[in-house]
Amino acid sequence: MLSEILRGALISASLIIAIGAQNLFVLKQGILKNHIFYVSAICFICDFVLMSIGILGVGSFISCNPLITNLLAIMGVFFLIWYGFSAFKSAIKGTSNMQIESQNVNNSRLIKVVVATLAVTLLNPHVYLDTVVIVGGIAGTLNSEQKLAFLIGAVCVSFVWFFGIGYGARLLAPLFKQKKMWIILDCLVGTVMLYIAYRLVFYVVYNN
């Protein structure tokens, strides 16, 4: 039981902690102190639901269906390329810095932040590959009791991670009063998104 909890935690950590679109979005909202409780909670709840779906059987089915996994990967490529170039565009124009300078803490409308969080989480097919296909596929060989323990470990890591980077990001706020730091962050976002897109292309080409 304990071994499966630890196994689920380690696998979840290896996937979640890797820098991606969702993590960088949470980090940015944390720096802006922008409804971070709701942002972190939405990311965690989405992870919980998707991991539960994957671990309880759907993940094994999808991982055995190359057509579905490849379709998810290709959709992910287009999403990540768009997201990456949008970040580079923001860096060139300096719009992120303009945003933080022109708004007060928690000044953005909650509904706008909620929609943006859901979009960056659920419109990114890479999230489904991680939570449903990979995590679900690994858990596919376990029995019902082991799957429950595996799920507990996986979602505990998700909870600690999202709330940790959300509230921990506030410590970086003083640094991001400088325009160059926002440019660096946007460039990092763009680079990471394009790299993940490249890895998905590699996955589609070399797994067929």
With tokens 């962050």, the residue in question is 185
**Of 199, 57, 204, which is closest to residue 138 (Cα–Cα)?**
57
Number of residues that this document lists for the chain: 208
Q: What is the pLDDT along the chain (208 residues), one digit of tens a residue?
A: 788 898 889 888 877 876 677 888 898 899 888 899 999 999 999 999 999 988 887 766 666 677 777 787 787 788 778 878 888 888 888 766 545 544 444 556 889 899 989 988 888 777 887 888 778 777 777 788 888 999 999 999 999 999 999 999 888 878 777 778 888 888 887 887 788 788 778 877 876 6
Conformation bin of residue 57: beta by default, left when phi > 0, alpha when psi is -120 to 50: left
